[in-house]
């Protein structure tokens, strides 16, 4: 077997029915995720010692649950993200009662955040408080309305204004026109206030428009973007962090298939925290308690912990608890989670009679001790 | 409201707890998938009449289940696949008890299969029997071994030899070398037999290698490829069907998050049958009964039905029931499913003492009445 650094470990949780051998299930995972044949067809020592996943540990937990640690060589991943996810949770995603809870290892295919918490704090010159973000919404407004909305918010001193993640290249609100007009509006406000509010367009083009839309962003000196890895592809997200210089705010849309089940899918902290961060997210949005969605407090804290954790190579990233947050949630969030957060208030801010005043109140509440 | 052809309908199944209003859940879906704000913030008639999803029908089924039909304008999808999936099942994938069971509509963003059942039957000059496919495997062999394996199988008269879907660009079996050597071996066998066996490499590169790997395929006159839409991205799959001329065999790996739950995710026949076909699959692999995986017979038949169904624009596609099939499954499969299938036997064929003889036996059994 190669030296440990040439291998990584994946931790699975298995729910095993009575009368089924946990070891057989574990052995099945090792084979399915690599050679896809019975052990009897593993015909040489290179394949059995190197290629097939190896059970490192299999331990029973309570109630028919087992914790399984499997070691794989990085070589089976071919050093690329599509094949990494295939090894991690490809075919076995179609088997019941197998959940990925963690992986241990590092590889240059994971760029990690380019800015992360230290980089963003520096950019926004905001070392002691949570960062503040809102969204232009609802979909259906024309570009001019969104530009006005962004202008008003930027005047109030918000750090980031992102597109709602459904704003794409709709005929009633085209991508290029929106990028041009909204960034102009935000720049105008910045010139007036001396601030550095950032407009973050949503980047979710078809592959044909990938490079063209990147050009539009660069021509307009856009510094940060909103990206949904499960919409544009996990590798496409990694590509942006590797080859472009945008601040990346990850959105979890369409990832729910992997997040919602006790005994299947992936631990949310692992997917939205660790993996999104490893793939390059400077900030990761998730469904906070008290909003429209359903993560519980422990899950939210777990996502935060994964984004914040110290790593020798990979920068820490900002948690963005969201999904229907209101001003009244801010104090509680800060109390429970601390200050290394991006507060994202969207719809609730739009209810303000005056958006600039609304943002000022948002700042006041978020910055209060 | 616009004419019906400018809108499409999505059918959801909801599992509603006692005391919860099914109408409120339905209304929540219409808002979440489009404007992402409360109804009170939907501030003009264009947004409320055009942009927000509209409840077409909400009917109770048995045991707290409801069937909901929502109409959306195609405009909200921006005519691209990332945003289509966002509208179909983006944020609501992170809510429990909502399952997508169907959609009704057609749009030029869906290319459909380029060849489909009629095209593949013509290419292989096989009008009356199932088509036969096997895989080179297990991962860990070098290119020369796979080339020999493919040569022996091609001599026996198999139609398609695909890469195992885990074969990527591993150091012990590089993509380019494999494409070159295995296709040479298959061409040699074809020259000897007068046959037209096709080698289908697995295409799952990082985005950096996307065009380069396409070039390798074309330089080697590869006609068909294996592609996993959930690994390279759903839009990347659609892109291949739109801009390249390969026969596309879709692999379901890493799609399990959407397939395994009674009240969440998507109906497997909808995802692996209808959607993969609409996105361009000429053939779609799924987990057959009697193999290593767990779809039941009704689910398998449902996938077949979706792939076969008549459509004014979109060609029918081949079901590929797979996942540990053996020679003894063939008769039953044909009896239950009919002959418009691709039989995929991988590991079981490798157990043959002589692969050419094994394939001949595979033909005999598959073609028997």
User: A with B: how many residue pairs have Cβ under 8 Å apart?
Assistant: 294
Both tokens assigned to B203:
């295409």
Tokens 């005056």 locate to: A354
CA–CA separation, B8 and B330 (whole Å):
39
Is B116-367 CATH 3.20.20.110? yes
Mutate to test the interface with A, among B137, B167, B168, B344 (most CBs of A within 10 A): B168
Omega of the bond prior to A246 within 30 degrees of 0, cis?
A: no
For residue B236, the model assigns a pLDDT of: 98
Interface of B with A in 271-300 (CB under 8 A): 287, 292-294
Quote the percentage of chain B above a pLDDT of 90: 91
Closest to B231 measured CA to CA, from A253, A89, A11: A89
Q: Is A236 on the interface with B (CB under 8 A)?
A: yes
For residue A294, the model assigns a pLDDT of: 74
Report helix, strand or coil for A77: helix
Q: Is A347 on the interface with B (CB under 8 A)?
A: yes
Of A6-15, A84-93, B252-261, B324-333, the one with minimum mean pLDDT is B324-333
A-chain CB neighbours of B109 within 8 Å are 206
Q: How confident is the prediction for chain A on average, in pLDDT?
A: 95
CA–CA separation, A23 and A30 (whole Å):
11
Residue B3 scores a pLDDT above 70: no
Q: How does residue B243 score in pLDDT terms, banded at 50, 70 and 90?
A: very high
Three-state SS annotation for B265-306: EECHHHHHHHHHHHHCCCEEEEECCCCCCCCCHHHHHHHHHH
Instruction: Find all residues with CB under 8 Å of B193, minimum gap 6, and list them.
Output: B154, B155, B157
Which ranges in chain B are annotated with CATH 3.30.70.150? Answer: 4-104
Residue in A44, A80, A205 nearest the CB of B205: A80
- Domain B4-104 superfamily per CATH: RuBisCO large subunit, N-terminal domain (3.30.70.150)
Distance of CA A335 to the CA centre of its chain: 23
For residue B4, the model assigns a pLDDT of: 52
Strand partners, A78: none
Mean pLDDT of B16-31: 96
For residue A2, the model assigns a pLDDT of: 46
CA–CA separation, A349 and A366 (whole Å):
13
Highest mean pLDDT among A329-338, B68-77, B327-336: B68-77
For residue B291, the model assigns a pLDDT of: 78
Q: Is B137 on the interface with A (CB under 8 A)?
A: yes
Beta-carbon separation of A46 and B140 below 8 A: yes
Q: How does residue B2 score in pLDDT terms, banded at 50, 70 and 90?
A: very low
Radius of gyration of chain B (CA): 22
Beta-carbon separation of B41 and A96 below 8 A: no
Residue in B85, B109, B170 nearest the CB of A231: B85
B-chain CB neighbours of A28 within 8 Å are 292
Highest mean pLDDT among A40-44, A77-81, A329-333: A77-81
Beta strands in B201-290 (DSSP E): 224-227, 247-250, 265-266, 283-287
ipTM over the 0.95 cut-off: yes
Q: Is B163 on the interface with A (CB under 8 A)?
A: no
For residue A292, the model assigns a pLDDT of: 78
Which ranges in chain B are annotated with CATH 3.20.20.110? Answer: 116-367
Beta-carbon separation of A36 and B166 below 8 A: yes
Residue pLDDT, tens place only, A220-261: 999 999 999 999 999 999 999 999 999 999 999 999 999 999
């Amino acid at each position: 077997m190669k030296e440990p650094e040439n291998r990584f470990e994946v931790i699975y949780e298995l729910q095993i029915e009575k009368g089924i051998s946990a070891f057989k299930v574990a052995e099945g995972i090792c084979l399915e995720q690599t050679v896809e044949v019975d052990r009897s067809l593993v015909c040489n020592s290179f394949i059995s010692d190197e290629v097939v996943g190896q059970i490192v540990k299999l331990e029973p937990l309570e109630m028919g649950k087992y914790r399984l640690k499997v070691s794989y060589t990085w070589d089976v991943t071919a050093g690329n993200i599509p094949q990494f996810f295939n090894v991690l949770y490809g075919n076995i995603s179609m088997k019941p009662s197998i959940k990925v809870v963690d992986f241990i290892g590092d590889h240059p295919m994971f760029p990690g955040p380019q800015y992360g918490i230290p980089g963003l704090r520096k950019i926004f010159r905001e070392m002691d408080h949570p960062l503040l973000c809102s969204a232009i919404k609802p979909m259906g407004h024309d570009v001019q309305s969104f530009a006005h909305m962004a202008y008003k918010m930027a005047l109030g001193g918000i750090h980031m204004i992102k597109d709602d993640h459904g704003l794409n290249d709709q005929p009633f609100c085209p991508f290029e026109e929106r990028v041009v007009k909204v960034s102009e509006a935000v720049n105008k406000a910045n010139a007036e206030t001396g601030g550095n509010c950032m407009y973050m367009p949503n980047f979710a083009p078809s592959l044909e428009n990938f490079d063209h839309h990147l050009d539009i962003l660069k021509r307009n000196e856009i510094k940060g973007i909103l990206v949904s890895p499960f919409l544009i592809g996990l590798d496409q997200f990694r590509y942006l962090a590797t080859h472009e210089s945008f601040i990346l705010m990850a959105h979890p849309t369409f990832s729910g298939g992997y997040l919602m089940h006790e005994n299947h899918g992936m631990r949310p902290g692992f997917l939205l925290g660790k993996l999104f961060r490893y793939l390059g997210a400077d900030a990761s949005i998730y469904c906070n308690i008290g909003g429209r969605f359903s993560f519980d407090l422990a899950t939210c804290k777990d996502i935060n912990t994964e984004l914040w954790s110290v790593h020798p190579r990979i920068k820490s990233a900002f948690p963005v608890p969201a999904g229907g947050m209101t001003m009244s949630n801010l104090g509680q969030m800060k109390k429970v989670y601390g200050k290394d957060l991006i507060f994202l208030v969207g719809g609730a801010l739009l209810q303000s009679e005056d958006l600039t005043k609304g943002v000022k109140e948002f700042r006041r509440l978020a910055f209060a001790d």
